[in-house]
Amino acid sequence: MFLAVLAAPETPLLLAGAWSWVAIGLAYLVGGIPFGLILARVVKGVDIRSIGSGNIGATNAIRAMGRKWGYLVFALDFLKGLLPTWSIQFLFTTSSREDVELLQILVGAAATLGHCYSPYLGFTGGKGVATGCGGILALSWPTFVAGGLVWLATRLGTGYAGLASILMGVAFPVAVAVQHGTERRAMLAGATALAALIVWRHRSNIQRMLAGTEPNARKKRGEPPPAARPHG
């Protein structure tokens, strides 16, 4: 039945709705896999949620396990957004381009929400940056590059990883608007929603930056990681 739906000429996405929802659901479940938590337990025997910011993402994984393992966490979280979003174009080949892009956006959003609100962790999780970036790359590499440049400039200029992630998120819808205007409205809406999610998930970082207690890469290396802090 699945192959029959995909083989039909120009199948509207709504007619293949059941399989669309399956794809979205699977993306959410894949996005929810807490690679940072799993690797920290396997590699160091620690609960990453008790270290540093308490977050399960790559930045805190670097604090808990070092750069090599932290970068691996980033890559795995990135792939959670990239692969499901990218694969849609090969699975729904008979739907219109607009429908496929809409489903890609929904799948990328599901994977990112899975990372932020993991069903395996009581609907808690990370901040959605790496997974969201993977989804963005699958949809538009120029948008990804623009956001990445903003992240790099902010991180090098200020030393704050959280601020870099926030400004990168804000840069995504701006980049879509500059490139496409209102032609890709679904993409613009998706990028705007991702930006809002990234800002929301970094609200504790914003509070710490305002209070002057946010970790900064410019500080002397070798300091012990701080005790876990409340995060949201």
* Rounded-to-10 torsion of CA 130, 194, 56, 203: 130
State which of 97, 128, 159 marks the end of a domain: 128
Placement of tokens 């000429």 in the chain: 9
pLDDT band for position 13 (50/70/90)? low
Would you state the structure tokens that stand for residue 106, as one six-digit string? 């929904």
pLDDT tens digit sequence for 103-117: 999 999 999 999 999
The boundaries of the domain holding residue 183 are 140-217
User: What is the mean predicted confidence (pLDDT) over 12-30?
Assistant: 81
User: What is the mean predicted confidence (pLDDT) over 191-201?
Assistant: 97
Give Cα separations from 183 to 144, 164, 186 (angstroms). 18, 28, 9
Please state the pTM of the whole predicted model: 0.86
Q: In this predicted structure, what is the pLDDT of residue 217?
A: 80
In order, the DSSP letters of 90-131 are HHSTTS-HHHHHHHHHHHHHHHHHHHHSBGGGTSB---SHHH
Tell me if 39 is assigned to some domain. Answer: yes
> What is the C-alpha to C-alpha distance for residues 53 and 2, in angstroms, rounded to an integer?
44
Q: In this predicted structure, what is the pLDDT of residue 25?
A: 96
pLDDT tens digit sequence for 58-77: 989 998 999 999 999 999 99
Mean pLDDT check: name the lowest of 31-40, 49-58, 222-231.
222-231
206 and 165 fall within a common domain:
yes
Tell me if 227 is assigned to some domain. Answer: no
CA 204 to chain centre: 18
Tell me if 72 is assigned to some domain. Answer: yes
Give Cα separations from 131 to 12, 29, 95, 104 (angstroms). 28, 13, 25, 14
Confidence check: pLDDT of 169 > 60: yes
Would you state the structure tokens that stand for residue 150, as one six-digit string? 């903003």
Number of independent structural domains in the chain: 2
